[in-house]
């Protein structure tokens, strides 16, 4: 039996679209921040029959079961008992599948003493959920093609360039269209999809340069652009994928207003209605108090950069 902890990550250059074929490879590279405060803790143990508990409830989860079947085929791990808990809303655009699969792979590696290294663990996490590969890494990570496979790499440790992410929760409801279904819908129906994938690859290089130079303004420009392009692709899919609500729009306006008042801050939004405001640590309390006062915001969480998935001692 083993237990592991992983944090969600927020993409700066987004992943929204898969390469043709199986194995869950992305169609374009991405970059993200692993955040602290939000976390998934997952325990794995051998069992007579597979059981999956999410936040204390017994569930049937096809995505997890399919992944466990693949893992069993590769390593002969047999039926397992999985218990996973999140300290934040599940399935509502806060990357719970990223932290979930990162924690699961880390706990599996430990339980069966497989000795998988970080690139291998990230490839396995990606097979579960594309974004999960990046939650294997601390600080800032890429998901890119390396030696013929898609794996995550840490490109900036939390201490090298500390950044803050203020999460504004606008609703705790689950999203109605999963990311996998949404990506396929965008690929097959959005007239902007091809341009989006081509441009993501260019923005990936520009974003990496901004991180190398610790250029906050450039990072902000690329991040908001990647986020809005992705949502334009989502909205131009058929049926349209509109993950925002009215509070999301209020928060976008608030962040732009903060910027016009001289605060260094930019926003990002994933496949859900929550806002993530990325800022420098010295400005994060101010950003948090301003976002908390935006009409409709339920609560805020002030995060720093977090550690990659790691094992934890059993209680
Ligand atoms: C990202 N998202 O780069 C983008 C931005 C959501 C919006 O990766 O199908 O749950 O399991 O590979 O990783 C969410 O998609 O999708 C995601 P699958 P995943 O963070």
Please state the three-class secondary structure of 198-225 as a single string.
Answer: HHHHHHHHHHHHHHHCCCHHHHHHHHHH
Q: Where does the pLDDT of residue 112 fall: very low under 50, low under 70, confident under 90, or very high at 90 and above?
A: very high
Q: Same structural domain for residues 209 and 154?
A: no
In a domain, 308, yes or no: no
To the nearest whole number, what is the mean pLDDT of the chain?
Answer: 96
Q: Supply the range of the domain harboring residue 272.
A: 164-303
Tell me the percentage of the chain whose pLDDT exceeds 90.
93
Q: Same structural domain for residues 12 and 154?
A: yes
CATH number of the CATH domain containing 255:
3.30.70.890
φ, ψ for residue 288, nearest 5 deg: -65, -45
Interatomic CA distance for residues 266 and 80, integer angstroms: 42
Atom from ligand 1 closest to the CA of residue 128: 11
On the question of pLDDT at 190 being above 80, the answer is yes
Please report which residue ranges of 139-282 form alpha helices under DSSP H.
179-189, 193-212, 216-235, 246-260
Q: What is the pLDDT of residue 173?
A: 87
Domain boundary among 113, 129, 158: 158
Write out the two tokens for 285.
């309390």
In a domain, 170, yes or no: yes
Residue 266 Cβ inside 6 Å of ligand 1? The answer reads: no
Q: What is the pLDDT of residue 314?
A: 60
On the question of pLDDT at 174 being above 90, the answer is no
Mean pLDDT, residues 224-247 taken together: 98
Mean pLDDT, residues 149-171 taken together: 97
Number of domains in the chain: 2
Q: Same structural domain for residues 8 and 148?
A: yes
Atom from ligand 1 closest to the CA of residue 183: 9
Q: Where does the pLDDT of residue 27 fall: very low under 50, low under 70, confident under 90, or very high at 90 and above?
A: very high
Q: Same structural domain for residues 116 and 21?
A: yes
In a domain, 242, yes or no: yes
Q: What is the pLDDT of residue 315?
A: 55
Domain boundary among 158, 174, 193: 158
Q: Same structural domain for residues 233 and 295?
A: yes
Interatomic CA distance for residues 70 and 213, integer angstroms: 40
List the end-to-end C-alpha distance of the chain, in Å, as a whole number.
12
Model-level pTM greater than 0.95?
A: yes
Q: Residue 26 has what DSSP assignment?
A: B
CA of 125 to the centre of ligand 1 (A): 12
CA of 130 to the centre of ligand 1 (A): 6
Mean pLDDT, residues 118-130 taken together: 98
Q: What is the pLDDT of residue 283?
A: 98
Domain boundary among 115, 136, 158: 158
Q: What is the pLDDT of residue 90?
A: 85
Lowest mean pLDDT among 90-99, 111-120, 144-153: 90-99
Q: What is the pLDDT of residue 255?
A: 98
CA of 68 to the centre of ligand 1 (A): 19
CA of 209 to the centre of ligand 1 (A): 23
CATH number of the CATH domain containing 117:
3.30.230.10
């Amino acid at each position: 039996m083993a237990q592991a902890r992983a944090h969600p990550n927020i993409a700066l250059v987004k992943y929204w679209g898969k390469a043709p074929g199986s194995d869950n490879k992305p169609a374009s590279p991405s970059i993200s921040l692993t955040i602290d405060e939000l976390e998934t803790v997952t325990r794995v143990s051998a069992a007579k029959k597979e059981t999956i508990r999410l936040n204390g409830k017994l569930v049937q989860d096809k995505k997890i079961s399919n992944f466990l079947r693949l893992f069993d085929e590769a390593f002969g791990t047999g039926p397992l008992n999985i218990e996973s808990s999140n300290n934040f809303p599940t399935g509502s655009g806060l990357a719970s599948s990223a932290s979930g699969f990162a924690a699961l792979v880390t706990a599996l590696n430990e339980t069966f003493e497989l000795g998988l290294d970080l690139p291998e663990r990230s490839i396995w996490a990606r097979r579960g959920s594309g974004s999960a590969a990046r939650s294997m890494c601390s600080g800032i990570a890429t998901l890119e093609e390396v030696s013929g496979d898609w794996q995550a790499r840490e490109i900036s440790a939390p201490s090298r360039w500390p950044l803050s992410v203020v999460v504004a929760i606008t609703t705790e409801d689950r999203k109605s269209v999963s990311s996998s279904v949404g990506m396929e819908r965008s690929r097959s129906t959005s007239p902007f999809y091809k341009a989006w994938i081509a441009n993501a690859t260019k923005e990936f290089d520009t974003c990496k340069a901004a991180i190398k130079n610790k250029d906050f303004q450039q990072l902000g420009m690329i991040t908001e652009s990647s986020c809005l392009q992705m949502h334009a692709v989502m909205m131009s899919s058929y049926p349209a994928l509109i993950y925002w609500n009215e509070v999301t729009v209020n928060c976008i306006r608030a962040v732009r207003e903060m910027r016009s008042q001289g605060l260094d801050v930019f926003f990002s939004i994933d496949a859900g209605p929550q806002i993530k405001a990325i800022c420098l640590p010295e400005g994060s309390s101010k950003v948090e108090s301003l976002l908390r006062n935006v009409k409709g915001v339920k609560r805020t969480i002030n995060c720093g950069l977090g550690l990659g998935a790691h094992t934890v001692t059993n209680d």
